Structure 1
Amino acid sequence: MTSEIPRKGLLMLLVALGLTRGGVVKASRDQLVNCTCENPHCKKPTCQGAWCTVVLVREQGGHPQVHRGCGNMNPELCLGRPTEFVNHHCCYRSFCNHNVSLVLEEPDVNPPLLPILGSVLALLVLVALGALGLWRVRRRQEKQRGLHSDLGESSLILKASEQGDSMLGDLLDSDCTTGSGSGLPFLVQRTVARQVALVECVGKGRYGEVWRGSWHGESVAVKIFSSRDEQSWFRETEIYNTVLLRHDNILGFIASDMTSRNSSTQLWLITHFHEHGSLYDFLQRQPLEPQLALRLAVSAACGLAHLHVEIFGTQGKPAIAHRDLKSRNVLVKSDLQCCIADLGLAVMHSQGSDYLDIGNNPRVGTKRYMAPEVLDEQIRTDCFESYKWTDVWAFGLVLWEIARRTIINGIVEDYRPPFYDMVPNDPSFEDMKKVVCTDQQTPTIPNRLAADPVLSGLAQMMRECWYPNPSARLTALRIKKTLQKLSHHPEKPKVTH
């Protein structure tokens, strides 16, 4: 018996088991299962196929390597007997290949040279890692020296304070992220996820739970998806790992992982942690001075405008529509700017290919924030602009929530959700359809906004977000620019306690 599996034979085996390019899907869509995809040809952390596969192979006398992916051809290969060079496993439930461990048969003869070669290889790996670490440290020092010379010492201090001199800041340096996406390399994501300790639950809902976690002393947010919302986890993971979404007003992504805890599979999405919580929570606690209200509105508009725009080039991104915009999906950062979260329902569009990627999520948006064309089922689902117009409708409702909590001449109203005086606490689709489509109602804009020249502009903007004709509504970019003009004021926003 030879000491290596032939390359041609290995390639044929991997092709047959669907482990190149994530598998060639030939089965009908209702037969497909989602699988963990970990092999050199995976473009995403998951793939779809007729079954899931795990292959353990030792090539050219090296260490065994595990390849996970999807199978679509010749299921008879799943019945093959393991040897000292290859072992494989097939299963037929979603992600059933995630935590499968395989072993190779022990060879009859164990040449004494192999342990020596293994030690040498391990030493070479350590030396290479050390050299890489030293190179990164020197490169960072050179960057800082260049920044210092270009911008002066005060800018360096500002930069350091923004990063917090954190390990996460180092990891999320652009050098270390995946080629086109916002995430870390998949193995690093998994390593980070396995090192996170859950500290306290900070939110629960139909989607699952959100926890404050700790990673090497730094707070992170961990969203644990319920099993029925698996597609939302899959969609967010897909978008963050394929689209460059690093922006001050988009929730910062750290890692995604599927892990087995307490004998059940958990779907984790790990992001930056913002102690103020959602805008919904913040508005419950906090009446707003006009300048703080505008700061929240402008920053949320910047996030939405960044999502909606397509950026071309190597650092570009497709246009993205959110589809579930609401105050619970907008977070308030420590600097009192907003960032947009929850991309589980997002759709993407690229002009070049004119391809509309709507994902595969059966979940619908939040009924209270649905635009009239969604409620009366007249939305053109084949037109990307239609989805952006529904985001603008919902953004107008978020502006209304902010405006109600804004203090004008000493007067402020308690927090209430949109349409609170027209529908029940948990409105049905029909409840919302009657109010928004049949009666053509919109939330009542507080009269006191007219007393403030800036906030009267905010009131007019809401009305222009709520036009029944979707194409007549403002664009996110126009909202952003108008709010920026309204917000030019020297007074610094502050939180009152």
Structure 2
Amino acid sequence: MTSEIPRKGLLMLLVALGLTKGGVVKASRDQLVNCTCENPHCKKPTCQGAWCTVVLVREQGRHPQVYRGCGNMNPELCLGRPTEFVNHHCCYRSFCNHNVSLVLDDVDPHLPLILGPVLALLILVALGALGLWRVRRRQEKQRGLHSDLGESSLILKASEQGDSMLGDLLDSDCTTGSGSGLPFLVQRTVARQVALVECVGKGRYGEVWRGSWHGESVAVKIFSSRDEQSWFRETEIYNTVLLRHDNILGFIASDMTSRNSSTQLWLITHFHEHGSLYDFLQRQPLEPQLALRLAVSAACGLAHLHVEIFGTQGKPAIAHRDLKSRNVLVKSDLQCCIADLGLAVMHSQGSDYLDIGNNPRVGTKRYMAPEVLDEQIRTDCFESYKWTDVWAFGLVLWEIARRTIINGIVEDYRPPFYDMVPNDPSFEDMKKVVCTDQQTPTIPNRLAADPVLSGLAQMMRECWYPNPSARLTALRIKKTLQKLSHHPEKPKVTH
């Protein structure tokens, strides 16, 4: 008699413990966790489920194998005791199964005799749970599409009236009680009705496409597989935080979908044909009042992120952590909105909980504050992250000011520190310039000839103080820029 699990028994065990490619968990987003995925059915190094699982199994003719993945169906399976051929562990925080080590117990040699009945019971429990989940999912889908969510009637109403269907969908009372304004089922339905039209941008993050949904343009950001944590984070923030604001990129839907036999991570947002501020500045020299309009609107977006709003329609404070001209979009009314929350951190005063997410990606080196480059930033202090945003915002102001026409003179677009570091600077390149040499971008003397631009110049300097706590706050930047726009002849920059 062998005490090892046969291959057929292993597959049954993996099915029972949720470590196969079976159904998707139907749960609200804040109940899901991200897990390390290492088993024969993993298509990617991570998966998403109701909990994370580690299973150690001794199979016929093989050394003990460790399988990691997501549990989805029956939490009672987590309560089983270890044996000499199976041990398992369940946990409920993201990636809590990554470094777990298990051992096999020495037990009574007659225990394998009960393996068959135990596996059969596990399979029956799992199949029963799966059947119940499918019934509930079918009922939920029918309820959702035709009554509670009201999506069909919204689309029909918009079609009859010739209005914007997205506008109707997003402005309706059809909410989840979270920040997104759209239930998950409607998000997924919208996502699967989007047709990709043209690629409008590519980068290390993936691609951005202009898509079409019922004749309306939307932006579709398709994340690369190595940046999937940014998709998880942005999806999480948009679905749990009220972020409807003129100067924050409008979120429509998020979906993990299978296309061309591979999994794609989509984030669907409003489409802005002018593209990023980086693109806009390359094409367009600015009159002083347009420069101020862009700066004020971007500051309004940053101030909204940074502020905590209390109440049922409130939001935690958010720090962006990757602010740059490529992550600021220009709308058709020539106002800016801030995009890309894949690195954002959140903080609530009430709980004093700092949520930094699980993203290993770092920000853009060219825009890093000195305390980040010399690794002196206090990562346990939320204010520290806001101060790094302000440093980066000062660099964005510099990019705007440089492209502004004064007395008929304007300079070509250049990125910050263009004359001090290579095109793709390393961490060490930036550290030498910003920390060792304590350099900041050169502010053109001609800015002093214009009251608006001289105000912007002073503001940049106050965003670049080496001491982070001495820098302006986003709210002060916003208020000062608004004063400049109302009284451009008599600028008053608050110190």
The answer, yes or no, to whether TM exceeds 0.5 is: yes
In structure 2, do the counterparts of structure 1 residues 11 and 383 end up closer, same or farther at CA, with 3 Å as the change threshold?
Answer: farther
Q: Which moved more, 1:117-126 or 1:353-362?
A: 117-126
In structure 2, do the counterparts of structure 1 residues 16 and 355 end up closer, same or farther at CA, with 3 Å as the change threshold?
Answer: farther
In structure 2, do the counterparts of structure 1 residues 156 and 7 end up closer, same or farther at CA, with 3 Å as the change threshold?
Answer: same
Aligned partners of 2:141 and 2:185 also within 8 Å: no
In structure 2, do the counterparts of structure 1 residues 277 and 493 end up closer, same or farther at CA, with 3 Å as the change threshold?
Answer: farther
Q: Secondary structure at the match of 1:175?
A: coil
Q: Deviations over 1:251-290 (max 9, x none)?
A: 0000000000001000000000000000000000000000
Deviation at 1:41, TM superposition (A): 25
Aligned partners of 1:320 and 1:349 also within 8 Å: yes
Q: Deviations over 1:110-154 (max 9, x none)?
A: 999999999999999999999999999999999999999999999
Deviation at 1:71, TM superposition (A): 2.2
Aligned partners of 1:23 and 1:69 also within 8 Å: no
Deviation at 1:181, TM superposition (A): 1.7
Q: Deviations over 1:59-105 (max 9, x none)?
A: 9999999999952899995999999999999999999999999999x
TM-score by length of 2: 0.71
Q: Deviations over 1:344-363 (max 9, x none)?
A: 00000000000000000000
In structure 2, do the counterparts of structure 1 residues 440 and 40 end up closer, same or farther at CA, with 3 Å as the change threshold?
Answer: same
Name the residue aligned to 1:87: 87
Q: Which moved more, 1:452-461 or 1:320-329?
A: 452-461
In structure 2, do the counterparts of structure 1 residues 163 and 41 end up closer, same or farther at CA, with 3 Å as the change threshold?
Answer: farther
Aligned partners of 2:451 and 2:489 also within 8 Å: no
Unaligned runs of 5+ in 2: none
In structure 2, do the counterparts of structure 1 residues 26 and 194 end up closer, same or farther at CA, with 3 Å as the change threshold?
Answer: closer
Aligned partners of 1:57 and 1:85 also within 8 Å: yes
Aligned partners of 1:22 and 1:43 also within 8 Å: no
1: CA distance, partners of 2:141 / 2:357: 39
In structure 2, do the counterparts of structure 1 residues 142 and 445 end up closer, same or farther at CA, with 3 Å as the change threshold?
Answer: farther
Deviation at 1:424, TM superposition (A): 0.1
Q: Secondary structure at the match of 1:342?
A: coil
2: CA distance, partners of 1:27 / 1:189: 14
Aligned partners of 1:19 and 1:41 also within 8 Å: yes
Deviation at 1:174, TM superposition (A): 4.7
In structure 2, do the counterparts of structure 1 residues 299 and 33 end up closer, same or farther at CA, with 3 Å as the change threshold?
Answer: closer
In structure 2, do the counterparts of structure 1 residues 489 and 347 end up closer, same or farther at CA, with 3 Å as the change threshold?
Answer: same
Q: Secondary structure at the match of 1:487?
A: helix
Unaligned runs of 5+ in 1: none
Aligned partners of 1:286 and 1:495 also within 8 Å: no
In structure 2, do the counterparts of structure 1 residues 82 and 218 end up closer, same or farther at CA, with 3 Å as the change threshold?
Answer: farther
In structure 2, do the counterparts of structure 1 residues 113 and 80 end up closer, same or farther at CA, with 3 Å as the change threshold?
Answer: closer
Deviation at 1:325, TM superposition (A): 0.0
2: CA distance, partners of 1:173 / 1:62: 58
Q: Deviations over 1:411-455 (max 9, x none)?
A: 000000000000000000000000000000000001100001121
Q: Which moved more, 1:482-491 or 1:34-43?
A: 34-43
Deviation at 1:12, TM superposition (A): 19
Note the aligned Cα RMSD (angstroms).
11.9
Aligned partners of 1:318 and 1:350 also within 8 Å: yes
Deviation at 1:157, TM superposition (A): 21
Aligned partners of 1:295 and 1:336 also within 8 Å: yes
2: CA distance, partners of 1:13 / 1:330: 49
Deviation at 1:496, TM superposition (A): 32
Q: Which moved more, 1:443-452 or 1:79-88?
A: 79-88
In structure 2, do the counterparts of structure 1 residues 140 and 330 end up closer, same or farther at CA, with 3 Å as the change threshold?
Answer: farther
How many residue pairs get aligned? The number is 494
Aligned partners of 1:18 and 1:72 also within 8 Å: yes
2: CA distance, partners of 1:247 / 1:347: 18
Name the residue aligned to 2:330: 332
2: CA distance, partners of 1:27 / 1:137: 15
Aligned partners of 1:22 and 1:42 also within 8 Å: no
Q: Which moved more, 1:137-146 or 1:402-411?
A: 137-146
Aligned partners of 2:390 and 2:473 also within 8 Å: yes
1: CA distance, partners of 2:163 / 2:128: 21
In structure 2, do the counterparts of structure 1 residues 217 and 2 end up closer, same or farther at CA, with 3 Å as the change threshold?
Answer: farther
Query: Identical aligned pairs, as a percentage?
Result: 98
1: CA distance, partners of 2:463 / 2:347: 22
Q: Which moved more, 1:115-124 or 1:391-400?
A: 115-124
Q: Secondary structure at the match of 2:112?
A: helix
2: CA distance, partners of 1:245 / 1:136: 33
Name the residue aligned to 1:72: 72
1: CA distance, partners of 2:26 / 2:476: 45
In structure 2, do the counterparts of structure 1 residues 441 and 185 end up closer, same or farther at CA, with 3 Å as the change threshold?
Answer: same
Deviation at 1:169, TM superposition (A): 0.5
In structure 2, do the counterparts of structure 1 residues 288 and 239 end up closer, same or farther at CA, with 3 Å as the change threshold?
Answer: same
Deviation at 1:177, TM superposition (A): 2.5
2: CA distance, partners of 1:151 / 1:48: 25
Aligned partners of 1:189 and 1:257 also within 8 Å: yes
Aligned partners of 2:55 and 2:87 also within 8 Å: yes
In structure 2, do the counterparts of structure 1 residues 404 and 156 end up closer, same or farther at CA, with 3 Å as the change threshold?
Answer: farther
Q: Secondary structure at the match of 1:348?
A: strand
TM-score by length of 1: 0.71
Q: Secondary structure at the match of 1:68?
A: strand
1: CA distance, partners of 2:151 / 2:27: 60
1: CA distance, partners of 2:176 / 2:58: 27
1: CA distance, partners of 2:46 / 2:172: 23
Aligned partners of 1:45 and 1:186 also within 8 Å: no
1: CA distance, partners of 2:476 / 2:401: 19
Aligned partners of 1:22 and 1:37 also within 8 Å: no
2: CA distance, partners of 1:381 / 1:496: 29
Aligned partners of 2:480 and 2:493 also within 8 Å: no
2: CA distance, partners of 1:64 / 1:437: 51
In structure 2, do the counterparts of structure 1 residues 93 and 229 end up closer, same or farther at CA, with 3 Å as the change threshold?
Answer: farther
Q: Which moved more, 1:313-322 or 1:141-150?
A: 141-150
2: CA distance, partners of 1:150 / 1:409: 60
2: CA distance, partners of 1:131 / 1:90: 18
1: CA distance, partners of 2:111 / 2:181: 40
Aligned partners of 2:253 and 2:267 also within 8 Å: yes
2: CA distance, partners of 1:129 / 1:90: 20
2: CA distance, partners of 1:398 / 1:109: 66
Aligned partners of 2:57 and 2:66 also within 8 Å: yes
Q: Which moved more, 1:172-181 or 1:309-318?
A: 172-181
Deviation at 1:165, TM superposition (A): 2.7
1: CA distance, partners of 2:122 / 2:240: 32
2: CA distance, partners of 1:256 / 1:266: 11
Query: Would you identify which runs of 4 or more consecutive aligned residues in structure 1 move more than 2 Å?
Result: 1-104, 108-165, 489-497
Name the residue aligned to 2:432: 434
Deviation at 1:182, TM superposition (A): 1.9
In structure 2, do the counterparts of structure 1 residues 296 and 29 end up closer, same or farther at CA, with 3 Å as the change threshold?
Answer: closer
In structure 2, do the counterparts of structure 1 residues 232 and 10 end up closer, same or farther at CA, with 3 Å as the change threshold?
Answer: same
In structure 2, do the counterparts of structure 1 residues 24 and 217 end up closer, same or farther at CA, with 3 Å as the change threshold?
Answer: closer
Q: Which moved more, 1:403-412 or 1:10-19?
A: 10-19
